[in-house]
Structure 1
Amino acid sequence: MNGASREALAAARERLDALTDSTSVDVAQLADELAAVTALLDREAGLRRVLTDPAQPGDAKADLVRRLIGGQIGGAAADLVAGTTRARWSQSRDLVDALEELANTADLTEAEKTGTLDDVEDELFRFGRIVTSSIELRAALTDRAAGARAKTELLHRLLGGRAKPVTERLVTRLVTAPRGRSLEAGLESLSRLAAERRDRMVAVVTSAVPLSDGQKRRLGAALAKLYGRRMHLNLDVDPGVLGGIRVQVGDEVINGSLADRLDEAARRMAS
């Protein structure tokens, strides 16, 4: 997002924070209702364009939201959605992206409140690795011919009782409403959003053998110093690394593996 949309999203995040700080708001219900509105606007391009039309007064668009969906969702969700439509958006799709982010953030806020956010981050990462390693599972979860109910039931069999309820809700929404993204990209986006709840970045660390607690602490401290922000480490083991570690932070890769050093030496010899 850029320009007006970025400002509108920032304001919406502040309103969401205010709502989730209230003990009277059911945050899980709020997340589900925001996700339902996201799905509605994703389907209804005409309505989406009306609600983001800069020529229409903000109050008129907010009133339209209340007339259309005010009786189908709770007051907190209706107020939040109405507030987003008062803002200016650079593109109509930005409003839908923002509502989806708000829904996911509400669930992650609930995890933060219950002290399970670290678990959710780890579970999202591990589920991504499971999907990557299983062609059959990925095919089942991304099959366009399979209905949302079948995918939901499959995910419940996989995650129910094994992962936090927040993790299951987030993954289920992603799988049943991917909105044009790959499953891997969606999971990465969720992991990034979870890390941002604690103002930290995500580092994917691949090593030949599991790192000790001391190694993890030292690596985390070194990366935090390098990037100027706290780090959440997603740990993966790959014997093919041969030695050392490989660290990826966003699009940047810090390669310290023996295998990569051997490859580099071979390239130098060949040249």
Structure 2
Amino acid sequence: MRGISLSSLNEVVRRFDGILPSANAATLGHELFEVVAVLEEEHSLRRWLADPANEAESKSALVSELLESKVSPATILVVGDIVQSRWSGARDLVDAVERLAVYATVGEAEDEQRLSELEDEIFRFRRVVAAEPELRASLAMEGVATSHKRTLVENLLSGKVNAATLRLVTEAVTRSRGRTLEQGLEYYEQLVAERARRYIAVVRTAVSLSENQQTRLRDALSRAYGRSIHLNIEIAPEIVGGLSIRVGDEVIDGTIAGRLAEVRRRLAG
């Protein structure tokens, strides 16, 4: 998000943080995801709610009318706050609801160790999906009943991961919002990292890194980016040597394979 949407997002997150401690976090997360699903289906509703020409009080009143007796008071309060804020477009409004749905879902795990567990679990499942084409096809296939996909995810992960991880993976599988399955999982992984006020660094290396090496790398990246860094390490023998590090959209390629590719590009030029 940018501009007015980013400013509004920062404000609604700040107010959300004041509501969350007194709410049932799991219920709030579930209900916010249901609101996202409704807004995705009701095009005219989300456009009306995002239209700055409509009065904020009218938007909040409509939300209360639509959601009353269907969701908890905390959900009505959060959604009402979002629709009263100004957004650059309907997409940003829905994205804000989804973001807070994720934040609420992990609300009971908001300490560094448990959030790290959630990040790792989503990351590992994303890697499994990428490595297992048949599994990915089963989870991403169009036309398959949502209940069937939900059952499949539960059979795969129930009892093996945190409850919040199971809920987020299920959401990514059953409601894509135009993303591929891998994109959806990575997006939720990034939101969990943001909630922990950290970045995720995906580190590709030809050989395993020792604990000491990981600590030094984490400290160096934390200093460079001005916030804590969580490392997701992938072993990739094909890079021969060195490290490839991706933080968000930025890639730091210090691999032998990367240097060889650069030499080839220069020779070709």
TM-score range, shorter chain: over 0.9
CA displacement at 1:91 relative to structure 2: 0.9
Q: Aligned with 2:110: secondary structure?
A: helix
CA displacement at 1:132 relative to structure 2: 1.1
Q: Which moved more, 1:111-120 or 1:75-84?
A: 111-120
Q: Aligned with 2:106: secondary structure?
A: helix
C-alpha distance in structure 2 between counterparts of 1:100 and 1:138, whole Å = 23
Q: Which runs of 5 or more residues in structure 2 are unaligned?
A: none
Q: Which runs of 5 or more residues in structure 1 are unaligned?
A: none
| AA in 2 matched with 1:12 | V
The answer on whether the counterparts of 2:126 and 2:182 sit within 8 Å (CA) in structure 1 is yes
Identity fraction in percent: 44
Aligned to 2:17: 17
CA displacement at 1:161 relative to structure 2: 1.1
Aligned match for 1:122, one of 113, 117, 120: 120
CA displacement at 1:269 relative to structure 2: 6.1
The answer on whether the counterparts of 1:70 and 1:78 sit within 8 Å (CA) in structure 2 is yes
Aligned to 1:87: 85
| AA in 2 matched with 1:243 | G
The answer on whether the counterparts of 1:242 and 1:257 sit within 8 Å (CA) in structure 2 is yes
| AA in 1 matched with 2:4 | A
* RMSD of Structure 2 on Structure 1 (CA): 1.8
TM-score, normalized by length of structure 1? 0.93
Aligned to 1:236: 234
Aligned match for 2:206, one of 208, 231, 242: 208
Cα displacement string for residues 112-162 of structure 1 (whole angstroms, at most 9, x for unaligned residues):
159511100111111111111111111111111111111111111111111
Matching of residues 88-237 of structure 1 within 5 Å: 88-113=86-111, 115-237=113-235
C-alpha distance in structure 2 between counterparts of 1:48 and 1:264, whole Å = 47
Corresponding residue pairs, total: 269
C-alpha distance in structure 1 between counterparts of 2:141 and 2:134, whole Å = 10
CA displacement at 1:16 relative to structure 2: 1.4
Cα displacement string for residues 202-226 of structure 1 (whole angstroms, at most 9, x for unaligned residues):
1101112221111100111111222
C-alpha distance in structure 1 between counterparts of 2:211 and 2:255, whole Å = 19
The answer on whether the counterparts of 1:20 and 1:106 sit within 8 Å (CA) in structure 2 is yes
Aligned to 1:8: 8
| AA in 1 matched with 2:234 | D
| AA in 1 matched with 2:162 | K
C-alpha distance in structure 2 between counterparts of 1:96 and 1:177, whole Å = 13
The answer on whether the counterparts of 1:244 and 1:258 sit within 8 Å (CA) in structure 2 is yes
TM-score, normalized by length of structure 2? 0.93
C-alpha distance in structure 2 between counterparts of 1:132 and 1:254, whole Å = 23
